[in-house]
Chains A and B, each alone.
Chain A
Amino acid sequence: MTAEEWTAVRLSLLVATTATAASLPLGIAVAWLLARGRFWGKSLVDTLVHLPLIMPPVVTGYLLLLTFGRRTPIGAFLADELGIVFSFRWTGAALACAVMGFPLLVRAVRLSIEAVDARLEAAAGTLGANPLWVFATVTLPLSLPGVIAGAILCFAKAMGEFGATITFVSNIPGETQTLPSMIYTLTQIPGGDAGALRLTLISIALSMLALLGSELLARRIGARRTAVA
Chain B
Amino acid sequence: MSLDVDVDHVREHFRLTARFSSAPGLTALFGRSGSGKSTLVDIIGGLVRPTRGRVAIDGQVLVDTERGVFVPKHRRRVGYVFQDSRLFPHLSVRNNLLYGRWFARPDGGASSDLASVVKLLDIGPLLDRRPDSLSGGEKQRVAIGRALLAHPRLLLMDEPLASLDEARRAEVLPYIERLRDDAGVPVVYVSHSVAEVARLATTVVILTEGKVTAVGPVLDILPLADTGDAGGVLDATVARHDEAFQLTVLASDAGELQVPRLTAPVGAPVRAYIRARDVMISLRPPEEISALNVLAGRIASIAPSPNGAQADVRLDCNGATLMARVTAKSVQRLALAPGRPVFAVIKSVSFERS
Which residues of A come within 8 Å of B, CB atoms?
117, 119-120, 122-131, 133-134, 137-138, 141-142, 225, 227-229
Are B147 and A126 neighbours in the complex by a CB distance under 8 Å?
yes
CB proximity of B126 to chain A, nearest CB, Å? 13
Residue of A nearest to B105 (CB): A128
A128 touches B103 (CB 8 A): yes
Given A141-B90, A225-B89, answer yes or no on A126-B80 (Cβ-Cβ < 8 Å). yes
Interface pair B132/A229, CB less than 8 Å apart:
yes
Q: By the criterion CB–CB under 8 Å, are A229 and B133 in contact?
A: yes
Q: Which of B75, B86, B104, B130 contacts A123 (CB 8 A)?
A: B86
> What's the least CB distance linking B22 to chain A, in Å?
19
Q: What is the bound-complex CA distance between A129 and B80, given in angstroms?
A: 13
Contacts of B90 in A (CB 8 A): 141-142, 225
CB-CB under 8 A from A126, the residues of chain B are 45-47, 73-74, 76, 78-80, 147, 150
Instruction: Tell whether, in the assembled complex, residue A133 and residue B88 are in contact, meaning their CB atoms are under 8 Å apart.
Output: no
Please name all residues of chain A whose beta carbon is closer than 8 Å to the beta carbon of B131 when the two chains form the complex.
228
How long is the Cα–Cα vector from A188 to B45 in the complex, in angstroms?
A: 69
Seed contacts A122-B47, A228-B89; 9 additional CB < 8 Å A-B pairs? A120-B89, A122-B86, A126-B46, A128-B150, A129-B99, A137-B99, A142-B89, A225-B89, A228-B130
12 A-B pairs with C-beta separation under 8 A: A119-B84, A125-B72, A126-B76, A127-B103, A127-B146, A127-B150, A128-B74, A128-B103, A137-B102, A142-B90, A225-B89, A229-B133
How far, in angstroms, from A8 to B90 measured CA to CA in the complex?
A: 41
Q: Which residue of A lies closest to B131 (CB)?
A: A228
**Known: A123-B82, A229-B133. Contact between A128 and B88, CB under 8 A?**
no
In the complex, are the beta carbons of A129 and B133 less than 8 A apart?
no
Identify which of A120, A127, A137, A227 gathers the most chain B CB atoms within 10 Å of its CB. A127
User: CA of A126 to CA of B71 in the docked complex: distance in angstroms?
Assistant: 12
Knowing A119-B82, A225-B89, A229-B133 touch, does A129 contact B47 (C-beta < 8 A)? Answer: no
B100 in contact (CB, < 8 A):
yes
Give residues in B with beta carbon < 8 Å to A. 45-47, 72-80, 82, 84, 86, 88-90, 99-100, 102-104, 130-133, 146-147, 150
**Interchain residue pairs A-B with the least CB separation, the first 8:** A128-B103, A228-B130, A127-B100, A126-B80, A123-B86, A229-B132, A125-B73, A127-B150
**Which residues on B sit within 8 Å (CB–CB) of A122?**
47, 73, 86
Are B100 and A228 in contact, with the CB atoms below 8 A? no
- On chain B, the residues within 8 Å of A117 by CB distance are 86
Residues of B within 8 A of A123 (CB): 80, 82, 86, 88
Query: Looking across the interface, which residue of chain B has its beta carbon closest to that of A221?
Result: B90
Least distance between B149 CB and chain A CB atoms (Å): 9
Chain B residue at minimum C-beta to C-beta distance from A226: B132
Q: A142-B89, A228-B89 are in contact. Are A128 and B100 (CB under 8 A)?
A: yes
- Chain A hits for B100, CB < 8 A: 127-128
User: Does the CB pair B103–A120 fall under 8 Å?
Assistant: no
Give the docked Cα–Cα distance between A227 and B46 (Å): 35
A133 CB, min distance to chain B CBs, angstroms: 7
CA distance A119 to B38 in the complex (A): 14
